[in-house]
Amino acid sequence: MIEVKYGLLPKENFCKYFEFLINKTYKILPLKEEKSDTLKSYLESYLRELIGNQELVSVLVDEPKFITVLNTMQFLISEEYSDKVCKKEVFKCIRILEEIKEKYFKED
């Protein structure tokens, strides 16, 4: 069980949820490559969700790797960058999310 702001939730739920977050992170790549007009709003929405997670899930509050993902999403929102940089940063975030999932949410 994982402690959240409003009680306890099964680890399994968070494993599935982190897979969902990883897929949402991966979705940034085609949006960037297609020069989608919705990329910035997608990133802003995703960042709000990540910030909400940090507020809701107690183990994420002090997890420096999670803060790295937040910072990277903020960079992708506010700066200009190439497709190559985007790809590098997206895969870095995916790797970090997988590490967090393994560390906190993987069933024993």
Instruction: State how far the Cα of 87 lies from the Cα of 84, in Å rounded to an integer.
Output: 5
Total domain count, the chain: 1
pLDDT over threshold 80, residue 15? yes
Over residues 24-46, the pLDDT tens digits come to: 999 999 999 999 999 999 999 99
Domain of residue 79, residue span: 9-105
DSSP-derived 3-state class of residue 8: strand
Contacts of residue 69, Cβ cutoff 8 Å, sequence gap at least 6 = 50, 93, 96, 97
Instruction: State how far the Cα of 21 lies from the Cα of 46, in Å rounded to an integer.
Output: 9
Q: Is residue 4 part of a domain?
A: no
C-alpha of 88 from chain center: 15
Give residue 108's pLDDT.
61
Q: Is residue 33 part of a domain?
A: yes
Please tell me the pTM assigned to this model. Answer: 0.91
